[in-house]
Amino acid sequence: TEIEQGKFREDLYHRLAVILIKVPSLKERKKDIPQLVDYFTENLITDQGLDPKTFSKGAINQLMDYPWTGNIRELKNVIERLMILGSNPVTEEDIHQFAAKPKL
């Protein structure tokens, strides 16, 4: 653990760990991705005035197959990128182009 490796103070852990909540990673909740896509697109339309876009079934399937190592933050960023740069409807090609992880 981080405590055993000396990367996190044990006293701070106990101070913060009043209630432990297990939040599954996005890769464990892939069935929620279509609803999350809808949620993020609606927020972007409302909050940033972006034009509405739809996502093809293939695009949604691609998003559901994506590894999402960055979890919900990564999904949100990808949806925003697709809403700004993707076609309408957003296609599988858009997913390949705008959701691919950059080589660092």
**What's the pTM value of the predicted model, to 2 decimals?**
0.79
CB 66 within 8 A of CB 40: no
Supply the pLDDT for residue 80.
Answer: 97
pLDDT (tens digit, 9 = 90+) per residue, 61-97? Answer: 999 999 999 999 999 999 999 999 999 999 999 999 9
Give the pLDDT band of residue 102 (cuts 50, 70, 90): low
Question: How many angstroms separate the Cα of 88 from the Cα of each of 55, 82, 91?
Answer: 8, 9, 8
Can you tell me the distance from the alpha carbon of 76 to that of 82, in angstroms, rounded to the nearest whole number?
10
Tokens of 35: 């609803």
Ordered domains of the chain (ranges, CATH) = 24-98 (1.10.8.60)
Supply the pLDDT for residue 17.
Answer: 86
**pLDDT exceeds 70 at position 44:** yes
